[in-house]
């Protein structure tokens, strides 16, 4: 069941959803709340000369994401002039807001794009939109320009929306595991 | 539950990568927010216990795609808040 604006505001008021900084009333729609882009981006780069291929194998034994990130990512900051996301370009970004969905709230969420950016062919996630019950932190965005235009990203721009859904019951972790494996007996 | 981990910088100032060893010696890396850490520990939720091991749900999916891992019971300690 998707929460309406009134239910989202009520959930925030009662601490079942935490958004910091709190969204202005203009950031709500009937069934979502907008979030903004922080100034931090991360760009993947690859080896770019003949004879050297960059192949990532996440399923390999000993795969270390930290080493991959250290070797092949570059931090970028969005300055006052913005950041140009060119055609077919991909960057990681983060919401400026920190989100918390306490496990006992019986809420999860989906981060989705905004139609204003979608019509420019800007996507904000790649098949990973779920904000699970218990989430705490800034939301990572996979920003990808699918279209032919160069699009300027600005820090603080409305970049995505959160849609909150009620879960059926409280997840196991909300009970600190006290009912672990009971259903399997 | 606090799971001891090694912490290295992530892709932004707000992101850290927690490196956790599972009960069977597997190294798991998970990119998290600062809010998911407490000192040198990763805050995780206990799901269950079995033969000296604790099944925990991590705050984010690990680089290997796991949310839940078994860790050694002796390596965990409850937070002050319980």
What's the structural domain count of chain A?
A: 1
The continuous run of DSSP H or E covering A140 comes out as strand A136-145
**Best mutation site among B18, B47, B56, B78 for testing chain A: the one with the most A CBs within 10 Å?**
B47
Classify residue A57: in a domain, yes or no.
Answer: no
- pTM for the predicted model, two decimal places: 0.85
Separation CA B36–CA A135 (nearest Å)? 9
Classify residue A33: in a domain, yes or no.
Answer: yes
Q: Would you say the ipTM is above 0.90? A: no
Domain of residue B32 covers 2-75
**Best mutation site among A62, A75, A170, A177 for testing chain B: the one with the most B CBs within 10 Å?**
A177
pLDDT digits (tens, 9 = 90+) for A116-134: 999 999 999 999 999 999 9
Residue A70: pLDDT band by 50, 70, 90 thresholds? Answer: confident
Residue B62 phi, psi (nearest 5): -75, 170
Classify residue B82: in a domain, yes or no.
Answer: no
Classify residue B81: in a domain, yes or no.
Answer: no
Classify residue A85: in a domain, yes or no.
Answer: yes
Residue B81: pLDDT band by 50, 70, 90 thresholds? Answer: very low
Residue A160 Cα to chain centre, angstroms: 8
Classify residue A183: in a domain, yes or no.
Answer: no
Q: What is the total residue count of chain B?
A: 82
Q: How many CB atoms lie within 10 A of CB B21?
A: 17
Q: What residues of A are annotated to the active site?
A: 142
Q: Is the dihedral of CA B14, B10, A100, B74 positive or negative?
A: negative
Q: Given this model, what pLDDT does residue A178 score?
A: 67
Domain CATH for A159? 2.70.40.10
Q: Which has the higher per-residue pLDDT, A181 or A86? A: A86
Separation CA B9–CA B29 (nearest Å)? 12
Return the biggest CA–CA distance within chain A.
60
Separation CA A123–CA A80 (nearest Å)? 22
What's the structural domain count of chain B?
A: 1
Domain of residue A130 covers 5-45+65-171
């Amino acid at each position: 069941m998707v929460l309406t604006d009134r239910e989202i505001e009520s959930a925030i008021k009662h601490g079942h959803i935490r958004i910091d900084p709190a969204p202005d009333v203009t950031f709500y729609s009937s069934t979502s709340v907008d979030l903004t882009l922080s100034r931090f981006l991360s760009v993947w780069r690859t080896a770019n000369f003949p004879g050297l291929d960059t192949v990532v194998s996440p399923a390999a034994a000993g795969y270390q994401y930290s080493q991959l990130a250290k070797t092949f990512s570059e931090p970028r900051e969005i300055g006052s002039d913005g950041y140009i996301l060119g055609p077919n370009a991909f960057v990681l970004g983060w919401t400026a807001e920190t989100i918390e969905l306490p496990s006992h709230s019986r809420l999860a969420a989906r981060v989705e794009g905004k139609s204003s950016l979608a019509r420019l062919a800007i996507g904000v996630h790649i098949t990973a939109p779920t904000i699970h019950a218990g989430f705490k932190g800034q939301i990572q965005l996979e920003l990808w320009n699918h279209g032919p235009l160069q699009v300027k990203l600005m820090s603080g721009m409305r970049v995505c929306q959160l849609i909150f859904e009620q879960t059926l019951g409280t997840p196991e972790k909300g009970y600190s595991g006290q009912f672990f494996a009971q259903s399997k007996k | 539950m606090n799971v001891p981990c090694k912490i290295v910088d992530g892709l932004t100032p707000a992101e850290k990568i927690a490196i956790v060893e599972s009960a069977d010696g597997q190294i798991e890396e998970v990119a998290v927010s600062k809010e998911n850490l407490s000192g040198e520990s990763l805050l995780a939720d206990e799901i269950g216990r079995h033969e000296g091991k604790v099944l925990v749900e991590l705050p984010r999916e690990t680089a290997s795609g796991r949310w839940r891992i078994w860790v050694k019971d002796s390596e965990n300690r409850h937070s002050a808040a319980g």
